[in-house]
């Protein structure tokens, strides 16, 4: 196909899901984000730890809204967040004076490593980027960022996904673990 013809697209977008699917996506996301946000705002404010990062919003779309996707499976969710977090922290530590470079290296390398480890999870790119953009609290965590919030938050959201996504007859989760 020639270069410009490819830009026209060749097929149609997938069908819209049923209302029950919308309901269960909403419920899963409410409970999953609710759990990590509650821990973050109500249980951890006195500590140096945090449990909520922006990339969990994107994970919620996948693990509660597109649960069949290979990108939404446990291996990808946990592996994607933890590996990307490590890469993000390392990029910041090594390249910090050059923030644009640290940000670009973090996200690009996170994608490459997720590909190589078969853990591609789009929110992982955000997890890597957040390690660079930070907040002072995130910088202070150092490599602990990969365990809490990235790993621990992903695990809590995974538990909610397992509990909620298997309630309706029409849903099952996960498709595979590893």
Partner 1 sequence: MSQRTNPGPNPAELFSDEDVYEAMKKIPGYLDISAGDFKELYLLAYQHAETRLYNSVRVSEIMTREVVTVLPATPLAEAAARMAKHHITGLPVVREDGTVAGVLSEQDFFRNMGDGSQISCMALIADSLASGGCPALCMRGTTAGEIMTTPVITVLENTLLHEAGKLMREKGINRVPVTDNSNRLLGILTRSDLMHAFPDRGIL
User: Does residue 70 interact with partner 1 by CB under 8 A?
Assistant: yes
- Contact set for partner 1, span 111-150 (CB under 8 A): none
Considering only 170, 176, 177, 178, the residue that binds partner 1 (CB under 8 A) is 170
**Which of these, 36, 51, 62, 35, lies nearest to 123 by C-alpha position?**
62
**Least CB distance from residue 127 to partner 1, whole Å?**
20
User: Does residue 176 interact with partner 1 by CB under 8 A?
Assistant: no
User: Does residue 15 interact with partner 1 by CB under 8 A?
Assistant: yes
How far apart are the C-alpha atoms of 19 and 33, rounded to whole Å? 21
User: Does residue 166 interact with partner 1 by CB under 8 A?
Assistant: no
113-132 as b/e: b if 16+ CB within 10 A: bbeeeebbbbbbbbbbbbbb
**Least CB distance from residue 99 to partner 1, whole Å?**
33
Neighbours of 5 (CB within 10 A): 9
User: Does residue 30 interact with partner 1 by CB under 8 A?
Assistant: no
How far apart are the C-alpha atoms of 164 and 40, rounded to whole Å? 21
User: Does residue 10 interact with partner 1 by CB under 8 A?
Assistant: yes
**Residue 140 or 162 having the CB closest to partner 1:** 162
CA separation, residue 163 to residues 5, 31, 155 (Å) = 45, 10, 12
Considering only 67, 83, 111, 156, the residue that binds partner 1 (CB under 8 A) is 67
User: Does residue 5 interact with partner 1 by CB under 8 A?
Assistant: no
How far apart are the C-alpha atoms of 45 and 49, rounded to whole Å? 8
For the chain, give percent helix, strand, coil, nearest 5: 70, 0, 30
Considering only 2, 12, 46, 47, the residue that binds partner 1 (CB under 8 A) is 12
Task: Report the interface residues with partner 1, using CB under 8 A.
Answer: 10-15, 17-18, 20-21, 65-72, 170-171
């Amino acid at each position: 196909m020639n270069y410009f013809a490819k830009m026209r697209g060749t097929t149609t977008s997938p069908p819209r899901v049923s209302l029950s699917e919308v309901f269960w996506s909403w419920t899963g996301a409410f409970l999953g984000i609710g759990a990590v946000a509650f821990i973050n705002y109500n249980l951890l404010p006195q500590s140096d730890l945090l449990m909520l990062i922006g990339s969990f919003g994107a994970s919620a779309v996948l693990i509660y809204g597109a649960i069949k996707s290979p990108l939404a499976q446990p291996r990808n969710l946990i592996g994607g967040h933890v590996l990307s977090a490590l890469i993000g922290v390392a990029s910041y530590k090594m390249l910090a004076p050059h923030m644009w470079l640290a940000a670009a290296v973090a996200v690009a390398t996170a994608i490459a490593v997720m590909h190589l480890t078969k853990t591609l999870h789009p929110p992982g790119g955000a997890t890597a980027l957040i390690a660079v953009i930070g907040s002072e609290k995130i910088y202070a965590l150092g490599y602990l960022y990969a365990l809490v919030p990235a790993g621990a938050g992903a695990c809590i959201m995974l538990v909610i996904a397992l509990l909620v996504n298997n309630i309706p007859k029409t849903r099952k989760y996960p498709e595979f673990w590893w």
